[in-house]
Amino acid sequence: MIIAEGKPLVEVAGLIKDAKKVLVVGCGGCVTVCLAGGEKETGILAAELRLLRKKEGNPLETVEVTLTRQCDPEYVEMLNKYVTDDVDVIVSLACGVGVQFLAERYNKWVVPALNTKFAGGTVAHGVWEERCGLCGECILYKTGGICPIIRCSKSILNGPCGGSQGGKCEVNPETPCAWQLIYDRMQALGKLELLMEIQPPKDWSKSRDGGPRKVVREDVTIDG
């Protein structure tokens, strides 16, 4: 899932300082699971903003809505009835995708309440780690299910580098060396010989180097 975390309250409050009425929109997708922008966090943020503004003697009206997802137009359009003329700002608690989908659809000032961090998963309650670099061409079958693109600080394909010490990364001694993990796993699986193959330079045109990406599935498109 996409992992995000809330922006500091004062930052969000600064973004809506001139507004009298804001629509606070949560998302029921990834950010609900990573406890950053679901219905609960939407309620807390709205309460914080109201309380802050009430204390400043400049009351703020909030309307809270949590959409099933902010990254699908059919759910976004359910917001239509709440986007009234008197709404000054829409505060989105989605990842950057949700914020943009709202901004594209409505002629309103849309601001993000979260910082979108990475694609990862839950490793313990309240702890999330990055696992996928979204590089566009998966090579996990070559590395025992451990991604060298994102878990190796240098994203090298023929590791480890000389900075791998005691199984830890030289960039951050708390980070396990991805190539040590890969070696250990391949050894445990009896597939060390697969690591003998030299990997050619990766085709980064399938990643961000090719500009914004798009996936089209002809079999499921409806129009055209």
Partner 1 sequence: MADFEPKIIAFCCFYCAYSAADLAGSMRLQYPANIRVIEMPCSGKTDIRVLLEAFEDGADGVYVLGCMEGDCHFLKGNFRAKRRVREAKKILDEIGIGGERLEMYNLSAAMGPRFAEIAREFTDHIRKLGPSPVKLKPGTATEKAPTGQ
Distance (Å, rounded) from C-alpha 56 to C-alpha 19?
Answer: 14
Single residue of 1, 15, 63, 156 touching partner 1 by CB under 8 A:
63
Would the CA dihedral through 145, 124, 119, 173 be positive or negative? Answer: negative
Other C-beta atoms closer than 10 Å to the C-beta of 204 total: 13
Single residue of 5, 39, 88, 184 touching partner 1 by CB under 8 A:
39
Unique residue bearing structure tokens 């050619």: 200
Strands (E), 15-139: 21-27, 61-67, 89-92, 109-112, 114-124, 127-132
Q: Which is nearer to partner 1, 1 or 13 (CB)?
A: 13
Q: Smallest gap, in angstroms, from Cβ of residue 123 to partner 1? A: 19
Rg over CA atoms, the chain: 22
Q: Which is nearer to partner 1, 43 or 136 (CB)?
A: 43
Site string for partner 1, 77-116 (x = CB under 8 A): -xx--x----------------------------------
Single residue of 40, 191, 206, 213 touching partner 1 by CB under 8 A:
40
Q: Which is nearer to partner 1, 46 or 169 (CB)?
A: 46
Distance (Å, rounded) from C-alpha 111 to C-alpha 93?
Answer: 9
- 183: burial class by Cβ within 10 Å (0-12, 13-18, 19+)? buried
Single residue of 65, 83, 119, 132 touching partner 1 by CB under 8 A:
65
Contact between residue 37 and residue 115 where contact means Cβ atoms under 8 Å apart: no
Q: Which is nearer to partner 1, 108 or 142 (CB)?
A: 108
Residue span binding partner 1 (CB under 8 A) among the ranges 57-65, 89-97, 112-120, 179-187: 57-65
| Residue ranges that bind partner 1, judged by CB under 8 A | 8-10, 28, 39-40, 43-44, 46-48, 50-57, 59-68, 75, 78-79, 82
